[in-house]
Amino acid sequence: MSNSTFLRRQSILMNPKAPEAEKKVAALLYNDKTDGMASKDLHAVAALTFNQNQAELVYKVLGNALDPNNNTWQTLVKAIILVDHLVRAVVCYQHLQPRYPTEHPNF
């Protein structure tokens, strides 16, 4: 892990005022594991994006992780995998929405 990636991870995870959404995404992206990310963690982050306030925090950390000048290639790959999962989660959510209004118009 590069020094800047380590410092970014520590600054987010060790900050008691950092929101939980930000900590969860940082822990997922900036960890030392090389075996990938668990699907339950990806689903948990995707669930955060359906709340506007938490989504902004998720996208802020994700945007920082996608900067190739300040991150390792492992962090970039994890960030791309997370973006892919978020896009698929939105597509699945939209597919599951009812196509017809739940209330019938009054005639």
- Summarised one tens digit per residue, pLDDT across range 34-77 is 677 888 989 999 988 888 899 999 999 999 999 999 888 888 99
Nearest to 41 by CA among 52, 30, 51: 30
Mean pLDDT of 13-35: 78
pLDDT higher for 89 or 95? 89
Q: Which pLDDT score, from 0 to 100, does residue 98 have?
A: 64
Q: Which pLDDT score, from 0 to 100, does residue 81 have?
A: 92
